Structure 1
């Protein structure tokens, strides 16, 4: 394994760093995007109970906003509950864009890795081929070992760049779809809250 890595030259070091960073991002997103962290099951029913029992003081709402992304959206709706329904929905939509941005922010790094890794692999390929032609000029085509070193570096970095980029792209798309699905669920639950606000809470 060490021989394979060392044959890739300096470019391989950067590719390994990108691979490590991608793995950390993927692990962090798997943990942070769990449903119990984004859309806790008991949160919506509890908030509906608070609404019906008039337990909507500022302390409750502030704690709700810190609970989870779903809690933040519900708190936004409750803070605007004395306004017109359209105004409440507009406020929730603005908050929803903020939540989506925060959830997707780490994915920008994963997308960047997916784009940069193949370019680094290509750079390694170019460097390897440059070595091949330099060796041909110096030693001719008869020294197979000299030629093999440059070709090995070219092929190794190309493969490594793809090995890093392909999983990064797949995980990026997976997390994007997961966030989109969770956003839809959050929207549905917040709309249910808005529709079930106690009559006294509505204008």
Structure 2
């Protein structure tokens, strides 16, 4: 049972390492459209200030504020969209790694339990060419 707890503890220590930068990507993906919207509001305020001072007869005077509004929106979206795509990809990949790790831990615990119940059993761990561990159970008889 101590072995089982040690395996579970070690596996649980790996999860935060796998997830450590996902929250940063999530924050960037969520906040950049808001920053773009904020820039849009500032650009429109600038455009309306031009209207207040110069009137509506000078479209070229409005162009600066409207351009600023559109550029900040485009910038926010151009950062947010790929960031969200990368976040979703990595998040699903981490979830899959965690599920695989859980399955491997259960398999290892089952193997160790089997070894404990068969008196004199020896577990030999050898690395195959693919780098995966292969376990053999042999009797010491």
Same fold (TM over 0.5): yes
- 1:147 equivalent to 2:70? Answer no
Q: TM-score, normalised by structure 1?
A: 0.53
Taking only aligned residues, the RMSD between alpha carbons, in angstroms, comes to 2.2
- The structure with more radius of gyration: 2
* 5+ residue gaps, structure 1: 1-76, 82-87
Q: Which has the higher strand share?
A: 2
Partner Cα separation in structure 2 for residue 151 and residue 93 of structure 1:
57
- 1:119 equivalent to 2:34? Answer yes
1:104 pairs with 14, 19, 40, which one?
A: 19
Q: Which has the higher helix share?
A: 1
How many residues align structurally?
Answer: 117
Corresponding residue of 2:43: 128
- 1:192 equivalent to 2:97? Answer no
Q: Deviation per CA, 1:46-87: give whole Å up to 9, x if none.
A: xxxxxxxxxxxxxxxxxxxxxxxxxxxxxxx9xx33xxxxxx
Corresponding residue of 2:138: none
1:157 pairs with 58, 65, 72, which one?
A: 72
Q: Which moved more, 1:134-143 or 1:183-192?
A: 183-192
- 1:171 equivalent to 2:98? Answer no
Cα shift at 1:97: 3.3
Higher relative contact order, chain-length normalized (CA < 8 Å, sep 6+): 1
Cα shift at 1:174: 0.9
